[in-house]
């Protein structure tokens, strides 16, 4: 007997096995029930519909981290992105709170629902980053946190009796806030992104972009892009993970023209031209957050949420997590992980 599935009986037979393109039914409609008898239509495409229904029912996790000096509008931006009070500043933050002496990691979870889809959103804030006099290695607690989530996932995955849906606390997306100096990136920015772009998806954003004119913005973006390239920093969407030509074309445009997104955040509404818009009111005018002529917030939102949400999760799972796992296995002597079950606890040989 054959040891495993024989993919082809022989090369010639394989091509015979691929059927000729079937004529599509004249009236393209799904079989509405058991009694529909369209000759020549099987219904494989309905599987996609099943998956869509399933995704809607099970809901999904999304974990987004924000990193940057205090005062760059991180919390406000996250609130704006999700149109909800989801940041740390919305859950009992004291305005008088001092800047912490070390980098703290604060994760806050919310369940939000839209169009029947439930999302368990976790916002991970990193107060204290870049705020000290000596900021050496201030990215270490952040890298540690990210790796701890990978470790948690790995431990559950190698369990003998493992959960059907492993809770996913891994960071899917890290928004890095660049200060709108108009000059260039700061050394801390480079160091952080160099270290962390290897373990997590980094999306650099230029914060408080309403302090720059259009020309200043364009120039600054170009300079930042150049600096990132020169320093070999691969931000999301990484070139090497483009799956096909379609992705590459779409992502090239984003990488070379749109990013880093110059954003403005706000959770206050104002009346402009008869509509209620999110914005910032100044004596010289109202900055409309969702107006593409004013800032690129809408681009960031569409990018992260409406088009690349699933991809962010997949790259985290298939690339970053796998890299971590491979390293762990290698450190473990190349042995596949095994768990020895003792009375109550699981000891693993990791």
Partner 1 sequence: QQPAQFTNPETPGYVGFANLPNQVHRKSVKKGFEFTLMVVGESGLGKSTLINSLFLTDLYPERIIPGAADKIERTVQIEASTVEIEERGVKLRLTVVDTPGYGDAINCRDCFKTIISYIDEQFERYLHDESGLNRRHIVDNRVHCCFYFISPFGHGLKPLDVEFMKAIHNKVNIVPVIAKADTLSLKERERLKKRILDEIEEHGIKIYHLPDAESDEDEDFKEQTRLLKASIPFCVVGSNQLIEAKGKKVRGRLYPWGVVEVENPEHNDFLKLRTMLITHMQDLQEVTQDLHYENFRSERLKRGSRLKIEDEEVNKDQILLEKEAEVR
Rounded distance between C-alpha atoms, residue 262 and residue 294, angstroms: 10
- Give the list of residues 6+ apart from residue 194 with CB closer than 8 angstroms, or none: 231, 232, 233
Choose which of 11, 27, 95, 113 interacts with partner 1 (CB under 8 A). 113
State in angstroms the smallest separation of the CB of 56 from partner 1: 5
Q: How far is the CB of 272 from partner 1 (least distance, A)?
A: 12
Contact flag: residue 42 with partner 1 (CB under 8 A): yes
3-state secondary structure 52-105: HHHHHHHCEEEEEEEECCCCCCHHHHHHHHCCCCCCHHHCCCCCCCCCCCCCCC
Choice from 61, 70, 84, 242 touching partner 1 (CB under 8 A): 84
Using the rule CB under 8 A, which residue among 26, 29, 40, 283 binds partner 1? 40
| 26 touches partner 1 by CB under 8 A | no
**Is 214 one of the binding residues for partner 1 (CB under 8 A)?**
no
Interface segment toward partner 1; rule CB under 8 A; list 148-156, 158-166, 192-200, 249-257: 158-166
- Please give the size of the binding site for partner 1, defined by CB under 8 A: 94
Judged by CB under 8 A, the residue of 26, 27, 29, 39 near partner 1 is 39
CB 255 within 8 A of CB 237: yes
Tell how strand 275-282 and strand 269-272 pair up: antiparallel
Residue 20: how many other CB atoms lie within 10 Å: 5
10 Å CB burial of residue 238 (0-12, 13-18, 19+) is middle
Query: 106, 110, 186, 194: which one contacts partner 1 (CB under 8 A)?
Result: 110
Q: How far is the CB of 51 from partner 1 (least distance, A)?
A: 6
Binding to partner 1 by residue 292, rule CB under 8 A?
Answer: no
337 lines the binding site for partner 1 (CB under 8 A): yes
Joined tokens for residue 259:
């990013």
Beta bridge partners of 53: none
Smallest separation, CB 202 to partner 1 (Å): 20
Smaller CB separation from partner 1, 4 or 187: 4
The residue (of 27 and 161) whose beta carbon lies closer to partner 1 is 161
Across the beta sheet with 275-282, what order do the strands follow? Answer: 269-272, 275-282, 285-288
Does position 254 bind partner 1 by CB under 8 A?
no
Binds partner 1 by CB under 8 A, chosen from 27, 29, 98, 115? 115
* Cβ neighbours around 331 below 10 Å, total: 9
6 counts as binding partner 1 under rule CB under 8 A: yes
Q: Work out whether 230 is an interface residue with partner 1 (CB under 8 A).
A: no
- With contacts defined by CB under 8 A, name the span among 57-65, 93-101, 180-188, 231-239 that binds partner 1: 57-65
């Amino acid at each position: 007997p054959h040891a495993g599935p024989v993919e082809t009986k022989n090369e010639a037979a394989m091509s015979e096995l691929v059927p000729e393109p079937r004529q599509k039914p004249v009236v393209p409609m799904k079989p509405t029930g058991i009694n529909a008898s369209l000759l020549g239509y099987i219904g494989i495409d309905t599987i996609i519909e099943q998956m869509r229904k399933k995704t809607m029912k099970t809901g999904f996790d999304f974990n987004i981290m924000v990193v940057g000096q205090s005062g760059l509008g991180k919390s406000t931006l996250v609130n704006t992105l999700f149109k909800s009070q989801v940041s740390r500043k919305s859950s009992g933050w004291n305005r008088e709170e001092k800047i912490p002496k070390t980098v703290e990691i604060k994760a806050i979870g919310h369940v939000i629902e839209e169009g029947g889809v439930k999302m368990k959103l976790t916002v991970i804030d990193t107060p204290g980053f870049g705020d000290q006099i000596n900021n050496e290695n201030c990215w270490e607690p952040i890298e540690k946190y990210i790796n701890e989530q990978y470790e948690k996932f790995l431990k559950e995955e190698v369990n003998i009796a493992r959960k059907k849906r492993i809770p996913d606390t891994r960071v899917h997306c890290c928004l890095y806030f660049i200060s709108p100096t108009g000059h260039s990136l700061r050394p801390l920015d480079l160091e952080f992104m160099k270290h962390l772009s290897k373990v997590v998806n980094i999306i650099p954003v230029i914060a408080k972009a309403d302090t720059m004119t259009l020309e200043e913005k364009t120039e600054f973006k170009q300079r930042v892009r150049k600096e990132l390239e020169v320093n070999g920093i691969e931000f999301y969407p990484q070139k090497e993970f483009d799956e096909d030509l379609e992705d590459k074309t779409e992502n090239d445009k984003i990488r070379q023209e749109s990013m880093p997104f110059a954003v403005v955040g706000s959770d206050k509404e104002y009346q402009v031209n008869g509509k209620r818009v999110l914005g910032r009111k100044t004596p010289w005018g109202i900055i409309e957050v969702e107006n593409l002529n004013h800032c690129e917030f809408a681009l960031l939102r569409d990018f992260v949420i409406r088009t690349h949400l699933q991809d962010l999760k997949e790259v985290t799972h298939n690339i970053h997590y796998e890299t971590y796992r491979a390293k762990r296995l290698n450190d473990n002597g190349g042995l596949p992980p095994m768990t020895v079950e003792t009375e109550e606890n699981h000891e693993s040989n990791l």
